[in-house]
Amino acid sequence: MADLRELYQEVILEHSKTPRNYRALAEANHKAEGYNPLCGDHFTVYLDVEEDGKIRDIAFQGSGCAISKASASMMTQSIKGKSREEAEQLFDRFHKLVTGQLHANGDQPDLGKLSVFAGVSEFPMRVKCATLAWHTLRAALEGKLETASTE
Amino acid sequence: MNAAANTYPQVQTAGKPAGFDVFKIREDFPILRQKVHGKPLVYLDNAATAQKPQAVIDAISSYYTSSNANIHRGVHALSEIATESYEHARAKLQRFINAAEAGEIVFVRGTTEGINLVAQTYGRANIGAGDEVVISALEHHSNIVPWQILCQQQGARLRVIPVNDRGELLLDEFEKLLGPKTRLVAIAHVSNALGTIVPLQKVVEIAHHRNLPVLVDGAQAVPHIAVDVRALDCDFYVFSGHKIYGPTGIGALYGKRALLEAMPPYQGGGDMISSVTFEKTLYNKLPYKFEAGTPDISGVIGFGAAIDYVTNVGLDRIAAHEHELLVYATEALSSIPELRIIGTAKSKAAVISFVLGDIHAHDVGTVLDQEGIAIRTGHHCAQPLMQRFGVEATARASFAMYNTREEVDALVEGIQKVREVLA
């Protein structure tokens, strides 16, 4: 049960039940859909990106498990106001976190609240859940119109 | 839909089947002795694949230890033994489904390949532009996509028999779908996602009344129901070894001789020919016409051993035991708050698909896994069916001959844990 509490942290459960920035964004100039064909999780990420690359606003909609939904919700909070490059770097660090590649370094101050997803690394089958929204964000930033997929 | 009213499958048998000792059967399956995350393994993912008895493992091991050789080729002793074992397994399969002759049993990689074979041979020869193929809303992707591919190739059209809210086929709608353009009916015997047992006899009668051939996806049926292809009078019947306690990568396609004879070959290569020149090739007789290349010999031998095992236990007794588990589990799960069973057909195999309030099936599966309980979560390769029931995914517990009431109890406790962890 200890392991499960690592995965399903209170913060994660809370975000999955009341996701933040959960709406369609009328002013969006970038948008992408993300899909995990293995479980049917499906998200749309909306971005309002300024000309200098700053992410003015971000929102998402869709359905998925607790991990994927909480990850999407917390991603929107941590991405808002960041530049494209900063968003990419954050995804890179987040990916390392959930795949267990940051453990040796101890705390990851620059990940902030996202550190609660460290428990995912003990559940390799759930890495795709945690990263689906991020893959979708990347697809949206790259201006891709097609569906992003974890496969 | 009123879940409570129609949730319980009808009880067809009372009490335990005579002489059926589930704990003795469990001893035959070495994998069941292990622990997962420190808990005894509770394997309830049998509709995905069943575990293998020692007899099957031994048959495969023994083949490689003492008789490995290629078949239908050598004159040497080992080749003769291997060929005999391979053909002996075919005869077992023939008797198991009561086919008229062994030549009507074609070995394939599994149900999926069997359906693709029929779509690309019978289908391409007999289904043309504007024609229609009828399937049902219950189908696994493996009985949808091969027909979609065929329809795209030939300019044909796919029609789908709808189901009611219990997951039962609407036979009236089926009859209405059949018209002058219909060329084939392809249908599951048992739904992998819901457990619905399709009234096959009736479906075949309706189709044959219009001279339409019927292909049956029997992957989920053969481990649980005694199948007699001649009594059913279906034209093709396809199933996989691994769902009936045999190895993966092997399956069987039954086809009526007249149909198989008239079909072009599927793949070209060795063993499927009787003579080859650069100008012309004469194809081999049935079933070898459809078995190009060196087949999965050990898989076929293991498949035969699995059939022996099931036959020895007795399918009727297996079915009675599983049905008892289904009734017990349906009642136990129905008592859990917010748990909704998807698929409440009156006639059901031992499969229970469910959703648990707002909790996603993946989260259910992860928590249960920590308790040593293996179930399937997701869309079960039946996305259109999930859409029909308005769910993205379900959790599915599916039972086999070696499952026990105690394991059902463990599942119920596990689901209570899911509710605690994700509350």
Question: With bands split at pLDDT 50, 70 and 90, how would you rate the model's confidence at B353?
Answer: very high
B358 neighbourhood in chain A, CB within 8 Å: 17
Closest by Cβ to A40, choosing from B359, B363, B392: B392
A66 neighbourhood in chain B, CB within 8 Å: 359-360, 363, 422
A63 neighbourhood in chain B, CB within 8 Å: 392
The predicted structure's pLDDT at residue B2: 42
ipTM of this complex: 0.85
**Quick check: A66 and B360 CB within 8 A?**
yes
Across chain B, which distance is largest between two alpha carbons, in Å? 72
More confident of the two residues A106 and B181 = B181
Report the C-alpha gap between A21 and B159 in whole angstroms. 41
pLDDT of residue B14 exceeding 50, the answer is: no
The token duo for A61 is: 């909609």
Nearest in space to A59 (alpha carbons), one of A86, A30, A85, A92: A30
B269-309 pLDDT, tens digit per residue, is: 988 988 998 898 899 999 999 999 999 999 999 999 999 99
Closest by Cβ to A13, choosing from B362, B370, B422: B422
The predicted structure's pLDDT at residue B13: 45
The predicted structure's pLDDT at residue A150: 63
**Quick check: B393 and A40 CB within 8 A?**
yes
Considering chain B, what is the average pLDDT of its residues?
A: 94
A3 neighbourhood in chain B, CB within 8 Å: 370
State the burial class of residue B325 (Cβ atoms within 10 Å of its Cβ: 0-12, 13-18, 19+).
buried
Q: B117, B127, B300, B381: which one is catalytic?
A: B381
**Quick check: B386 and A39 CB within 8 A?**
no
Pick the residue of B366, B373, B389 with the most A CBs within 10 A to test the interface with A by mutation. Answer: B366
More confident of the two residues B27 and A146 = B27
**Quick check: A5 and B421 CB within 8 A?**
yes
Q: Where are the beta strands (DSSP E) in B251-311?
A: 251-255, 273-276, 281-283
**Quick check: A5 and B379 CB within 8 A?**
no
B363 neighbourhood in chain A, CB within 8 Å: 8, 65-67
Report the C-alpha gap between A117 and A115 in whole angstroms. 5
The predicted structure's pLDDT at residue B423: 82
Beta pairing partners, A62: A43
Closest by Cβ to B378, choosing from A38, A63, A67: A38
Report the C-alpha gap between B190 and B182 in whole angstroms. 23
The pTM of this model reads 0.91
pLDDT of residue B163 exceeding 50, the answer is: yes
The predicted structure's pLDDT at residue B7: 47
The predicted structure's pLDDT at residue A5: 87
Closest-CA distance, B357 to chain A, in angstroms, reads 12
**Quick check: B363 and A40 CB within 8 A?**
no
Q: What percent of chain B has pLDDT over 70?
A: 96
The token duo for B288 is: 């070898």
Q: Which range is least confidently modeled, B146-155, B217-226, B279-288? A: B279-288
Strand A30-36, strand A148-149: pairing: parallel
Which DSSP helix (H) or strand (E) runs through B182?
strand B182-188
The predicted structure's pLDDT at residue A107: 54
B151 catalytic per annotation: no
User: Which residues of B touch chain A, with CB atoms under 8 Å apart?
Assistant: 358-363, 366-367, 370, 377-379, 383, 386, 392-393, 417, 421-422
Query: Would you give per-residue pLDDT tens digits along chain A (151 residues)?
Result: 457 888 999 999 999 999 999 999 998 999 999 998 877 789 999 999 998 999 999 999 999 999 999 999 999 999 999 999 999 999 999 999 999 988 655 555 588 899 999 999 999 989 999 999 999 999 999 985 555 666 6
Q: What percent of chain B has pLDDT over 90?
A: 90
The predicted structure's pLDDT at residue B121: 98
Nearest in space to A43 (alpha carbons), one of A141, A140, A142: A140
B370 neighbourhood in chain A, CB within 8 Å: 1, 3-4
B224-238 pLDDT, tens digit per residue, is: 999 999 999 999 999
Closest-CA distance, A70 to chain B, in angstroms, reads 12
